[in-house]
Structures are given as structure tokens and as C-alpha cells.
Amino acid sequence: MADSLLNPVYHLYGNWLRKRLSPGALPQHVAVLADGNRRWARANAPEAPLVIGYQAGATKLREFVSWCQELGISTVTLWVLSTENLQRAATDELAPLLDVITNLVRKLTTDSSLKVQVVGDLTLLSSDAAAALKAAESASTPHNPSTQVNVAVAYGGRHELRDAVRTLLAAEAVKGNTLSQLATTLETDQIAAHLYTAGQPDPDLIIRSSGEQRLSGFLMWQSAHSEFYFCEALWPDFRYIDFLRALRAYAQRERRYGR
């Protein structure tokens, strides 16, 4: 069927799905592993540099955030660069990717209804790249933010837990508490208070594109009771309909929280 016929059909189907989603059944925090950008580039522009895939993925991330805003989802977390991805530093791929990510953060901050926060260990990046990201983040000056957007850069779940424990120990030392005292009094909420996403709700729904069915350490602590949705589409091909299907699947599940 030609695209000219498909588009109206998708539009009608999307409206049909949207109308059947109860606002009370929607997640309040959606996190996404935007996977498949390089594969998309190789399949769609094999002669072009891989950065074209990252650019297409960044465009889709901005679109995804707008979908979440439209539906009233208050917190969105986008994983765009893992600690493992930094191993690409030996190639010419990392610098263009960081430029795309920095531009993504800049563009998100132009929306005054978004509060944009970069989460991850920026000390793993070059000083110039880290400074550019922090400058882009600092441009976020929301007046009445309706949506919190976390952009996970140089992020790894184990890395986050390590950093949380380090900052927790340092804070306890300032208070004059010993390791022995901490060992007998430590509670989970104390660790949670030192995560990159401290003070935010845990993700209700985590989406991963490109057919991969693993979390790869994404939000290891926060995802204890999250629902997962895996989609075959490569991230730049992820459609509004795919998102609505993920939300429908979420709404149909009974969340037991381990009970």
C-alpha cells in the first residue's frame, strides 16, 4: 500500500488507540533506551557517516518528548550514551555523537515547559564535552515546568550505584558518623537520595527499541518495579502508534509491586 494511503490509516488508528487510553492508567514516568540508530544509518544511508543515524535518533527523541507532553506524562528519561559507548573514543564516532547529544539538550531547553537535567558521570568525558553539556543544561530555565526530562549521558547503572555509595559515605563522614554506625543504620531511602535521579519518581514504564530485550544496566535501582516494553522498530523508525501500543500494553498490566 502506498504511503499516501498508509498515512491516513495510521492517523485514524492512532486516534482510535489514543481515545481508548484512560488518563488514569497512563504512566507518570517513562524511560526509553533509544537503540538502533547505527543500524538505521547502515540500512538507510550506507554511504553516509554514522552520525546521520544519531541525528535521526535525536529528532525522534524530541518528538517522543512532545508525545509525552501531549499525554501529560510528567517525567521522561532518555538514555543516549552509556559508559560502554565511551569505548568508541578510539574511533571518530564519539565526538560527532556528543555534538548531536549537546544539540539535543540545547533544543530541549528552548521549551520553557521542560526542566532538562543531564544525568550521568560527565567526568568520563573530555573537559570540553562536559562543559558544553553543562552549559546546554544550564540554559533550561522553565517557568512552570510540566515535564521533567532526564538525558542520560555517560550513564551506567553500576556506575550510578557506585557514585551513590561514594557520595553517601562522604556525606556521613561530614556528619561524623563512622562506617560501623552506618552499617547498622543504613536504609534504602538513604541510597536512593544519592542517585542521579534523586527526588524523582521511579519509572513506571521502560521502553527499548530495536528488538533488544535487556536493560543493559539502565536505571538498575529505579527499575525494581517498572514495566518493560520491547519494540522491534529501530529508534528513528519508532512511531507514535508504537508508543500508544506500549502505553496500551502498560495499561493492561496489573502492577503488583512484588506483592
Catalytically active residues are: 35, 85
- Dihedral sign from CA coordinates of 106, 99, 84, 209: positive
DSSP secondary structure string for all residues of 141-200: --SS--EEEEEE-SB-HHHHHHHHHHHHHHHHHHTT--HHHHHHH--HHHHHTTSTTTTS
Closest by Cα among 198, 120, 194 to 155: 120
77, β-bridge pairs = 31, 150
Q: Is the separation of the CB atoms in 35 and 210 below 8 Å?
A: yes
